[in-house]
């Protein structure tokens, strides 16, 4: 006799806790039962039958069963396309599919098809990855929040440039901020989250109570350890700052500012745990909005505090204190959203748990892989401060890097962050086909968004820098220096985004040493190129970084192919070639629209807006038309997402 099956979604399906077979979709749309992870208790499927099991579903013919299977597969395709489904049209809540004892009857509830969770009478099968539509919407929301944060970060730098410019003692602040920023990248924030998410995801699949105990332990260990590191740095700051020579011609100021700023390392360490937990539960919005409030707090601090300070040193201390207060806000803002999860953070120091050790073991290569990027930035600052111009070059590089990272933060960081939990789930379940497809999709999206952004920021570097920064203490002679560095950085923009995506892919596979070895190679290459290029000026340091990004991406792609066998290279190459062709048209249009308008309207603020805005609008229009003509598939996905958001 056939066994009844009813679909259940939400908490009931997710409350499963014992090993059961897993129901998986075949690529051809069929279903097959395979051994799967532990999932849980008996589902509530109605009144029990004579043997205490769930009620039986009525039998139907084989023809009806095959018909319903075809309709289910058709519905899945139509639902992904946002079109009406059979069950919607029929107004039916359940369809029963009969079979023999080897293929139990399915009574599949329509409202569960969107969620993708199925519960058998004795078995719970809960695919953990969110549906593609939800991933697309999550990516859009995260990108919007991250983009808003990056724009406000740009506003923050515009305000800071107005008060401090790019020359003088602001360079002492730039060097002082580099050091806590380096340690943040090495032991906190994204590095910690990247090592924590795969382990926490795996534990949630097996034992939620233990998962939260491990999370609590790491939370307190990081807080205690990084607080101790902060105390040590405060003591040795004069010797560390001395490595950079005399930044801003005021080494004492740089030492004092670094001591004020370094506690952000401990704060962002615990923030990495909170953000990692929320991302594991596919909650991205609030963590993405936290930096928005961070930037707002700094802007308010600058606007209210700097005019009240009576010396340049005091004004810079106001800037540093504003960053420290803003970091407190960033850390504590997401914490209320931890409520209502499967557990909570509590006081625990179960450091003997093997999972705790595994997080820190994984964190070593992740720390090197992500942190070495910031080590490169510190090396660049060293060359800029000691060998180029200690009174301008460090801050000029920092301003250019900020503008360069704006599209990176809006697009590639958003894509990699949203896809990272899904990649971890694919890796845990051994679904390498889904893993490859997701990485390929991420790389194509990054190419689609960042190649035209790189072209525009290179061609229009000087007008972009002028309209953003050239006011107040930021003087016209500083603009070409920053613009040249921005143009050089832009050559590596898309490769930097690809490296971020590939790093996350290896972290999901817990093959963390692969990107670490590549990052170490890039570290030495960057130092050698800095030695070779610093003589050409500040922009030579930026060019060295761009070349390193190109080499790092090539190495990661080769190693990724060796690891997985294939990487869908044909689709990636096709998208890249088409997008590059469309971006070539963007370069021509951007220059030939901006240049005559700039001559006609002049260099007043409104004149700059009148020349730059039409160039940017024309560039976007030409790019979209070019992608439409070349049939770039990522454009179709973007248009589909827009229609889904409108319906939502």
Instruction: Tell me whether residue 311 is exposed, middle or buried, using C-beta atoms within 10 angstroms of its C-beta: 0 to 12, 13 to 18, 19 or more.
Output: exposed
Residues 109 and 138 in one domain: no
pLDDT digits (tens, 9 = 90+) for 245-288: 888 888 899 999 999 999 998 888 888 788 888 877 777 777 77
- Of 181 and 340, the structure prediction assigns the larger pLDDT to 181
How many whole angstroms from its chain centre is CA 621? Answer: 27
pLDDT at position 29: 41
- Of 119 and 584, the structure prediction assigns the larger pLDDT to 584
pLDDT at position 188: 62
- State the DSSP code for 125: E
Residues 436 and 464 in one domain: yes
Which of 93, 125, 157 represents a domain boundary (last residue)? 125
Reply yes or no on whether the pLDDT at 123 is more than 70.
Answer: no
CA angle 101, 103, 105 (to 5 degrees): 90
Residue 476: phi and psi, rounded to 5, are -50, -40
Q: Please choose, from the candidates 266, 106, 291, the residue with its C-alpha nearest in 3D space to the C-alpha of residue 180.
A: 266
* pTM (two decimals): 0.65
- State the DSSP code for 250: -
Q: How confident is the model at residue 63 (pLDDT cuts 50, 70, 90)?
A: low
Is 439 in contact with 427 (CB distance < 8 Å)?
Answer: no
Which of 94, 125, 156 represents a domain boundary (last residue)? 125
- Of 425 and 21, the structure prediction assigns the larger pLDDT to 425
Q: Collapsing DSSP states into helix, strand and coil, what is residue 56?
A: coil
**Quick one: average pLDDT of 611-624?**
94
Residues 69 and 173 in one domain: no
Residues 92 and 147 in one domain: no
Instruction: Tell me whether residue 165 is exposed, middle or buried, using C-beta atoms within 10 angstroms of its C-beta: 0 to 12, 13 to 18, 19 or more.
Output: buried
Q: Collapsing DSSP states into helix, strand and coil, what is residue 156?
A: helix
Q: How confident is the model at residue 4 (pLDDT cuts 50, 70, 90)?
A: very low
User: Tokens 């679904």 correspond to what residue?
Assistant: 431
pLDDT at position 105: 37
**Quick one: average pLDDT of 569-589?**
91
Residues 391 and 482 in one domain: yes
**Radius of gyration of the chain, Cα coordinates, nearest whole angstrom:** 27
pLDDT at position 22: 39
Classify each residue of 30-56 as buried b or exposed e, where b means 16 or more C-beta atoms within 10 Å of its C-beta.
eeebeebbebbebbebeeeeeeeebeb
> For the ranges 50-59, 71-80, 94-103, which has the lowest average pLDDT?
94-103
Q: How far apart are CA 616 and CA 407, in angstroms?
A: 14
pLDDT at position 78: 58
Tokens of 158: 């515009």
Q: Collapsing DSSP states into helix, strand and coil, what is residue 631?
A: coil
First-to-last alpha carbon distance for the chain, in angstroms, is: 43
Q: Collapsing DSSP states into helix, strand and coil, what is residue 24?
A: strand
**Quick one: average pLDDT of 98-114?**
39
CA-based max dimension of the chain:
88
Is 391 in contact with 168 (CB distance < 8 Å)?
Answer: yes
**Mean of the per-residue pLDDT values for the chain?**
77
Would you put residue 314 in left (φ > 0), alpha (ψ -120 to 50) or beta? alpha
3-state secondary structure 183-198: HHHHHCCHHHHHHHHH
Q: How far apart are CA 185 and CA 317, in angstroms?
A: 23
**Quick one: average pLDDT of 141-169?**
83
Reply yes or no on whether the pLDDT at 339 is more than 60.
Answer: yes
pLDDT at position 457: 93
Q: How confident is the model at residue 70 (pLDDT cuts 50, 70, 90)?
A: low
Q: How far apart are CA 258 and CA 316, in angstroms?
A: 11
Tokens of 499: 């490296």
Residues 282 and 394 in one domain: yes
Reply yes or no on whether the pLDDT at 336 is more than 60.
Answer: yes
- Give, to the nearest 10 degrees, the angle between helix 393-407 and helix 354-383: 130
Q: Please choose, from the candidates 202, 300, 313, 211, the residue with its C-alpha nearest in 3D space to the C-alpha of residue 260.
A: 313
Residues 44 and 190 in one domain: no
pLDDT digits (tens, 9 = 90+) for 34-61: 444 443 433 334 444 444 444 444 444 5
**Quick one: average pLDDT of 113-121?**
39
- Of 102 and 525, the structure prediction assigns the larger pLDDT to 525
pLDDT at position 173: 92
Q: How far apart are CA 648 and CA 646, in angstroms?
A: 5
**Quick one: average pLDDT of 556-565?**
86
How many domains does the chain fold into? 2
Instruction: Find all residues with CB under 8 Å of 431, minimum gap 6, and list them.
Output: none
pLDDT digits (tens, 9 = 90+) for 209-257: 888 888 888 889 888 989 999 999 999 999 989 888 888 888 899 999 9
- Of 538 and 129, the structure prediction assigns the larger pLDDT to 538
Residues 49 and 18 in one domain: yes
pLDDT at position 159: 93
User: Tokens 């209320």 correspond to what residue?
Assistant: 336
pLDDT at position 71: 63
- State the DSSP code for 3: P
Q: How confident is the model at residue 98 (pLDDT cuts 50, 70, 90)?
A: very low
Range of the domain at 598: 132-647
pLDDT digits (tens, 9 = 90+) for 406-416: 888 777 777 87
Total Cβ atoms within 10 A of residue 228: 11
Is 282 in contact with 419 (CB distance < 8 Å)?
Answer: no
User: Tokens 């820190």 correspond to what residue?
Assistant: 360
**Quick one: average pLDDT of 99-110?**
39
Total Cβ atoms within 10 A of residue 243: 12
Q: How confident is the model at residue 617 (pLDDT cuts 50, 70, 90)?
A: very high
pLDDT digits (tens, 9 = 90+) for 350-393: 778 888 888 888 777 767 666 666 788 888 888 988 888 888 88
3-state secondary structure 312-323: HHHHHHHHHHHH
Tokens of 132: 């593609």
Residues 453 and 501 in one domain: yes
- State the DSSP code for 93: S
Which of 100, 125, 150 represents a domain boundary (last residue)? 125
Q: Please choose, from the candidates 647, 634, 645, 633, the residue with its C-alpha nearest in 3D space to the C-alpha of residue 141.
A: 645
> For the ranges 111-115, 224-228, 385-389, 502-506, which has the lowest average pLDDT?
111-115
- Of 566 and 451, the structure prediction assigns the larger pLDDT to 451
Is 114 in contact with 126 (CB distance < 8 Å)?
Answer: no
Residues 96 and 150 in one domain: no
- State the DSSP code for 565: S
Is 47 in contact with 55 (CB distance < 8 Å)?
Answer: yes
Q: How confident is the model at residue 138 (pLDDT cuts 50, 70, 90)?
A: low
Helix (H) / strand (E) containing 260: helix 251-261
- State the DSSP code for 243: T
Residues 136 and 111 in one domain: no
pLDDT at position 481: 93
Q: How far apart are CA 566 and CA 436, in angstroms?
A: 8
Residues 355 and 266 in one domain: yes
pLDDT digits (tens, 9 = 90+) for 7-26: 444 444 444 443 344 334 43
> For the ranges 285-289, 422-426, 574-578, 589-593, which has the lowest average pLDDT?
285-289
Is 597 in contact with 611 (CB distance < 8 Å)?
Answer: yes
């Amino acid at each position: 006799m056939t066994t009844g099956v009813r679909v259940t979604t939400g908490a009931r399906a997710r409350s499963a806790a014992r090993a059961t077979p897993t129901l998986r979709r075949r690529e051809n749309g069929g279903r097959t039962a395979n051994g799967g992870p532990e999932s849980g208790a008996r589902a509530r499927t109605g009144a029990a039958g004579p043997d205490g099991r769930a009620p039986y579903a009525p039998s139907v013919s084989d023809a009806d069963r095959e018909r319903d299977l075809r309709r289910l597969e058709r519905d899945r395709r139509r639902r992904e396309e946002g079109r009406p489904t059979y069950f919607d049209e029929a107004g039916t809540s359940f369809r029963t599919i009969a079979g023999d004892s080897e293929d139990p009857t399915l009574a599949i509830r329509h409202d569960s098809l969107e969620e993708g969770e199925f519960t058998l009478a004795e078995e719970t099968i809960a695919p953990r990855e969110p549906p593609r539509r939800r991933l697309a919407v999550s990516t859009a929301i995260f990108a919007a929040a991250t983009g808003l944060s990056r724009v406000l970060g740009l506003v923050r730098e515009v305000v800071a440039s107005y008060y401090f410019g790019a020359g003088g003692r602001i360079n002492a602040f730039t060097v002082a901020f580099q050091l806590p920023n380096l340690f943040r990248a090495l032991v906190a924030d994204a590095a910690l989250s990247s090592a924590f998410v795969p382990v926490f995801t795996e534990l949630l699949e097996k034992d939620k109570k233990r998962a939260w105990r491990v999370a609590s332990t790491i939370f307190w260990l990081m807080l205690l350890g990084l607080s101790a590191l902060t105390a040590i740095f405060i003591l040795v700051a004069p010797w560390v700052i001395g490595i950079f020579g005399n930044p801003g011609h005021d080494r004492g100021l740089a030492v004092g500012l670094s001591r004020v700023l370094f506690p952000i390392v401990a704060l962002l360490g615990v923030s990495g745990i909170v953000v990692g937990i929320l991302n594991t539960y596919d909650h991205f919005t609030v963590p993405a909005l936290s930096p928005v409030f961070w930037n707002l707090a700094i802007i308010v601090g600058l606007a209210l505090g700097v005019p009240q300070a009576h010396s340049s040193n005091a004004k810079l201390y106001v800037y540093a204190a504003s960053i420290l207060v803003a970091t407190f806000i960033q850390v504590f803002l997401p914490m209320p959203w931890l409520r209502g999860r499967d557990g909570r953070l509590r006081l625990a120091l179960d450091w003997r748990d093997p999972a705790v050790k595994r997080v820190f073991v994984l964190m070593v290569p992740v720390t090197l892989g992500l942190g070495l990027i910031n080590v490169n930035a510190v090396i660049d600052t060293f060359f800029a401060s000691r060998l180029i111009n200690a009174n301008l070059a460090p801050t000029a590089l920092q301003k250019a890097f900020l503008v360069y990272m704006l599209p990176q933060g809006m697009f590639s960081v958003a894509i990699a962050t949203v896809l990272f939990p899904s990649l971890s789930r694919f890796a845990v379940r051994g679904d390498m086909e889904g893993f490859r497809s997701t990485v390929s999709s991420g790389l194509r999206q990054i190419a689609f968004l960042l190649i035209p952004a790189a072209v525009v920021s290179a061609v229009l570097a000087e007008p972009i820098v002028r309209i953003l920064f050239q006011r107040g203490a930021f003087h016209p002679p500083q603009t070409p220096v920053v613009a040249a560095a921005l143009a050089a950085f832009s050559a590596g923009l898309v490769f930097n985004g690809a490296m971020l995506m590939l790093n996350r892919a290896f972290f999901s596979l817990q093959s963390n040493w692969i990107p670490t070895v590549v990052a170490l190679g890039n570290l030495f290459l960057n130092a050698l190129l800095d030695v070779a290029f610093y003589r050409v000026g500040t922009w030579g340091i930026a060019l060295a970084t761009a070349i390193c990004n190109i080499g790092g991406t090539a190495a990661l792609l080769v190693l990724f192919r060796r690891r997985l066998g294939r990487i869908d290279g044909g689709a990636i190459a096709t998208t890249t070639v088409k997008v590059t062709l469309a971006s070539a048209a963007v370069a021509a249009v951007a220059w030939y629209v901006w240049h005559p308008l700039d001559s006609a309207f002049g260099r007043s603020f409104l004149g700059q807006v009148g020349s730059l805005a039409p160039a940017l609008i024309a560039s976007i229009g030409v790019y979209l038309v070019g992608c439409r003509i070349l049939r770039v598939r990522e454009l179709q996905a973007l248009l589909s997402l827009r229609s889904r958001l409108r319906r939502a």
